[in-house]
Structure 1
């Protein structure tokens, strides 16, 4: 099982690594993906898309709202062992799936395609922010993968109590 916030952040990191590889390679082979004005417009539209997407996911709208999924998460008795985001920061499969086609299309077709991983990274970052806020407000931790047949279904565990500097529970 994987913490929902960590899953989203691994996706963000993988997309940013794909972006960090595709842009310099495409620039070296085909030239700059966009002009300065075009890059500004691309980033502005990406941020606007992210804000709208995150607001829709934060709502309770039937097909878009993630909050309803968070609240319907199956409660677990015990928190599973978490895979640290520090030791496994990337999703290798996602990185390969994003990197290879993006780089091929950016070189063979249009250079601006090298910037597409940014369009994926921003909404994933919004999802991670939304889930982290929900976890803080509700005192729970969201997990993915408790059901092997439906790994996207969520489960929750209570947030562990904070510890003092000596490792003891607070009084």
Structure 2
């Protein structure tokens, strides 16, 4: 099993590495992906789109909201013993390959700015990790993926760490 927040962060790390490799290779072969003015507009659009996407994910809307999936999670008795560690496995190599190869091919063969597309995934997965971490903190639960072999995307939860009471001295 895999902690949901760690799964999203692993995807962020993988997309960041894919972005770095794609930009480096494209810059080496075709030159810079875009001008400074074009890069500013591109970043503004990507960040704006990601903010809207993340805010929609924070709703309970049927096809875009993540909160409904968190609330539909199946309870577990305790945290799983065989959880995949983010520290030991920070990258998803299959996802890295699946992101780098087409990005570099299209960036070199078609348009160099395509090398910057993994940035959207970095920001989108960062937003999903933030949503999940915020939900876990608010509800005192830890979300997990992989409890169902037939549907590994379905979520379950275990009780979170006990909250500490703060006292004034």
TM-score with structure 1 setting the length: 0.92
Question: Structure 1, unaligned stretches of length 5 or more?
Answer: 164-171
Question: Structure 2, unaligned stretches of length 5 or more?
Answer: 165-169
TM-score with structure 2 setting the length: 0.93
Which whole-Å deviations, capped at 9, do the CAs of 1:103-159 have from their partners, x for residues lacking one? 111111110110011011111100000000000000000001110110110000000
Give the 5 Å matches for 1:116-135.
116-135=117-136
1:69 has 2:78 as partner:
no
In structure 2, what is the Cα distance between the partners aligned to 1:152 and 1:36?
Answer: 39
What SS does structure 1 have at the residue aligned with 2:117?
Answer: helix
Show structure 1 runs of 4+ deviating over 4 A. Answer: none
In structure 2, what is the Cα distance between the partners aligned to 1:138 and 1:46?
Answer: 31
In structure 1, what is the Cα distance between the partners aligned to 2:163 and 2:29?
Answer: 51
1:14 has 2:14 as partner:
yes
What SS does structure 2 have at the residue aligned with 1:141?
Answer: strand
Query: What is the RMSD computed on CA atoms of the aligned residues?
Result: 1.2
In structure 2, what is the Cα distance between the partners aligned to 1:13 and 1:46?
Answer: 18
In the TM superposition, residue 160 of structure 1 has moved relative to its aligned partner by: 2.6
